[in-house]
Amino acid sequence: MLITRILGAVGIEFAAEVSLHHPTIRAILVHSRSQLLSAEPLLPDEFKSRALKVLQKEGVEVILGQRAHIAKEKKDDLSIITLTDGRVLEAGFVIDARSTSTPSTSFLPREALNEEGYVKATHLYVSSLHSFFSFLCYHS
């Protein structure tokens, strides 16, 4: 069984791909809101409803309105997931696809980042980052 905790399109896409390419694997998508893609205000509700229907048609089990807590310790090589309503799920593999507000920019030059670790968005730094990325591409 594969369980993904989601917030946004990444978890939805992952669950759909697993279900399409490995139909014998039970894919469960857990989302804390009552609607998929709830953090995407520019998407119409019709699109969000359609995404849910397509997932379900392809065999993905979707659990909405529940937060998932993944236990740090495994039981018999299975991850234990407890939902806010008390249900307990066991999974052989869990993909935690939640969005986080922690930047993953530690590999960038410190002078290109602000105090919180986000990229400074001034013309000067964008130019220097472009050179930095070009260097990575050509010298890796």
Specify the number of domains making up the chain. 2
Query: Which range (21-35, 94-108, 115-129) has the least confidence?
Result: 115-129
pLDDT tens, residue by residue, 19-73: 888 888 888 999 989 999 888 888 899 999 999 999 999 999 999 999 888 888 8
CATH number where 62 lies? 3.50.50.60
pTM of the model: 0.66
| Residue 125 confidence (pLDDT) | 43
- 81 and 14 co-located in one domain: yes
b/e 29-49 (16+ beta carbons within 10 angstroms → b): bbbbeeebbeeeeeeeeeebe
Host domain of residue 82 = 2-97
- 17 and 73 co-located in one domain: yes
Q: Are strands 27-31 and 61-64 parallel, antiparallel or unpaired?
A: parallel
Residue 114 confidence (pLDDT) above 70: yes
Average pLDDT over residues 119-126: 58
- 110 and 55 co-located in one domain: no
Average pLDDT over residues 80-89: 94
